[in-house]
Amino acid sequence: MKKIYILIPLLLTSFLLVAQYNMPINQPFQDDVNMQWEQEAFLNGKPKLHTQDLINQSVEHTKELIRVVDSSYHYRKAGTFFGLDTRQKTLSRNEYGNPTHTITHLWDAASNSWLNRFNTMISYHETQTRDIFLMQPWSRIGQNWIDTGMFSKYSINGNLLLNKERIWDLTGGFLAYAYNRSFMYDENENYLGLLSQGVDVVTGEIINFHLIENELNESGQVNKAVRNTWHQDQWILNRQEIYTYDENGYRTGQFTQNWNFQTSLWHDFANYIFTYDENGNQLSEVRQNKNFETNEWYDWWRYDHTYDAANRRVQSVYQKLNEDSGQLTNQWLYTYVFNENGNLSLYLFQGWNLQTGMWDDFSRELSTYDEYNNRIQLLSQNWSNNQNAWYTTNQYDYFWSNYEITGINNFGQLNLTVFPNPAHDIIYISGIGSADFTVKLYSITGLLVKTETLRKGQGIDIKKLSGGTYILHIDAPNGTFFSRFLKK
């Protein structure tokens, strides 16, 4: 089911809470980063995957080298100062290179030291999709890791099953807010609904909030989503959304109604219309409201998107109804620029100036990459009308290293080959035979990004995948095999 997202003008931000700084704005800080990088060289002695019995043969897996981010450092401007804010370090990975233990620190300028903030542990299914995600906040009062800050459980296909969040204050002295979300699916893992609950932070009592129940069509897509609200110990109707799709399975409409308790009828609330090009790229999204005097729908806001030849979104325009003119008027412009390797190098956010009839700069993000297409720095900047120049508010530095893993390439036993590698548009697998076989593509972080059932000679379209390393998981009549490829 295709998900529809509304773009919002947000830059990358820091974690929940930040420290104070006393570092002069002109003082170089790269020396500290380089020192930390030398001191925190990537851990050695990583585990090797045991040999498996495939097709009644004992196979020793080929070692592979991939590049993985070991640590990232965040610098933030606070007032007139610009300095260290947080860092994130990967302490361990599994044999497939996926992170299993990560720690986040806050920089404390007063003590000139790092303070614990989050301890993150991740486990994976055998397919390397994420299984359990657990994040623990640090208690400065108890000087220990608190049991849970965030807990998520995923299915083997990557669907989120359970999400728990516990919001603690910075010291870890008291729990401020807590909620649970349980996601429901059918036997084919089609989305059936969601139960949202709060937790009384004093008594621990579970409190029902919302229940969403979905009706599915024959393709497993949501035809209708009904939202119920818990009130006086019972579920009562609140809102429903009715979806329509075209022959390609793309969502073309979303009709929203609210339940009126006085009339016991559904009342129209909003109507959304989506359009797509021949490649399945969303071209527009329109939100309509109803004029209850004329009983007619009118456009309230609209997004229009454009794409390049590689089907990458390069621009989005947001318009909103001007009640004075009765017309849709430009509001926001989002621009995305990619380098020659297909990496996002610039994200620019601009606002429409009614007086000049032109777009004014608001904010932007600049990314730089290494020769392996790994991002090594991201700058978040705002535009200053007073200084007529860009100034940096946040900076992220990413440090990468070669990591030796095993178990990723066992193609050699049957002379299987993935080509071309690296690839940009389509990859092929030779040596598999003529029978049907299933290929699953996973990102290096364990996210399932694509599933294909192929026959001999058929290729896999990877145009829409972002650049980076991907894991191939192939289920064939003669066994299960793993390999990898690099998307340029």
At 87, the pLDDT band (50, 70, 90 cuts) reads very high
- The verdict on residue 311 lying in a domain is yes
pLDDT at 415: 61
* Range with the largest mean pLDDT of 94-108, 131-145, 447-461: 131-145
Residue 5 reports pLDDT greater than 50: no
Residues 352 and 439 in one domain: no
pLDDT higher at 32 or 391:
391
Question: Are 420 and 78 in contact, with CB atoms under 8 Å apart?
Answer: no
* pLDDT tens, position by position, 120-158: 999 988 777 789 999 999 999 999 999 999 999 999 888
- Reduced to 3 states, what is the DSSP secondary structure of residue 411? helix
Arithmetic mean of pLDDT, 344-350? 97
- Say whether both 157 and 296 belong to one domain: yes
Identify whether the C-beta of residue 473 lies closer than 8 Å to the C-beta of residue 439. yes
Check whether 419 has a pLDDT greater than 70: yes
The Cα-based distances of 181 to 9, 193, 194 in angstroms read 27, 10, 7
Judge contact between 137 and 168, C-beta under 8 A.
Answer: yes
23: in domain: no
**Which contacts of 414-419 are long-range, i.e. CB under 8 A and separated by 24 or more positions?**
414/478, 414/479, 414/481, 416/474, 416/481, 416/483, 418/472, 418/483, 418/484, 418/485
**Looking at residue 82, what is its pLDDT?**
85
| 459 shares a domain with 366 | no
| Sheet architecture: strand order including 448-454 | 448-454, 437-443, 468-476, 479-487
Question: How far is Cα 381 from Cα 82, in angstroms, rounded to an integer?
Answer: 13
**Residue 466: which pLDDT band, with cuts at 50, 70 and 90?**
confident
Q: Taking 60 as the threshold, does the pLDDT of residue 26 lie above it?
A: no
In this structure, are 465 and 397 located in the same domain?
no
Q: How far apart are CA 350 and CA 332, in angstroms?
A: 6
CA distance 357 to 361: 13
- pLDDT band, very low/low/confident/very high, at 307 (cuts 50, 70, 90): very high
Q: What is the pLDDT of residue 424?
A: 85
> Do residue 418 and residue 397 come from a single domain?
no
Lowest mean pLDDT among 182-186, 232-236, 243-247, 474-478: 474-478
Per-residue model confidence (pLDDT) at position 407: 55
Same domain, 439 and 371: no
Structural domain contains residue 55: no
**Residue 486's pLDDT is what?**
82
Whether 418 and 345 map to the same domain: the answer is no
Which band of pLDDT confidence, cut at 50, 70 and 90, is reported for residue 66?
low
Q: Considering 350, 374, 407, which residue would you say is the last residue of a domain? A: 407
Report, as an integer, the average pLDDT of 247-256: 95
The answer to whether residue 396 sits within a structural domain is: yes
In a domain, 285, yes or no: yes
- Number of Cβ within 10 Å of residue 69's Cβ equals 19
| Residue bearing tokens 């290494």 | 370
| pLDDT, tens only, 183-237 | 999 998 999 999 999 999 889 899 999 999 999 999 999 999 999 999 999 999 9
Which of these three, 370, 392, 407, is where a domain ends? 407
Q: How confident is the model at residue 76 (pLDDT cuts 50, 70, 90)?
A: very high
Least confident of 219-228, 362-371, 422-431: 422-431
- CA–CA gap between residue 145 and residue 138 (Å, rounded): 5
Regarding whether 226 and 142 lie in a shared domain, the answer is yes
In a domain, 299, yes or no: yes
The CATH number assigned to the domain holding 429 equals 2.60.40.1930
How sure is the predictor about 396, in pLDDT bands with cuts at 50, 70 and 90? very high
Both 399 and 428 in one domain: the answer is: no
pLDDT at 94 over 90: no
Confidence label for 398 from pLDDT (cuts 50, 70 and 90): very high
> Are 152 and 250 part of one and the same domain?
yes
Question: Which of 361, 389, 407 is the C-terminal boundary of a domain?
Answer: 407
Same domain, 368 and 478: no
The number of distinct structural domains making up the chain is 2
Do 105 and 247 reside in the same domain of the chain?
yes
Instruction: Show the tokens assigned to 359.
Output: 């777009």
Domain that holds residue 439: 410-487
pLDDT at 63: 53
Which two tokens mark 208? 């029902």
The yes-or-no verdict on residue 4 having pLDDT over 50 is no
Place of tokens 């933030």: 76
Does the pTM surpass 0.85? The reply is no
20 belongs to a structural domain = no
Task: Read off the pLDDT of each residue in 263-268 and give the average, rounded to a whole number.
Answer: 95
What CATH number has the domain bearing residue 108?
2.40.128.720
Is 58 inside a domain boundary? no
Distance CA 10, CA 430 (A): 44
> Which helix (H) or strand (E) covers residue 10, if one does?
none
Run of H or E including 32: helix 30-39
Cβ-contact 13, 382 below 8 angstroms: no
73-87, 304-318, 398-412: which is most confident = 304-318
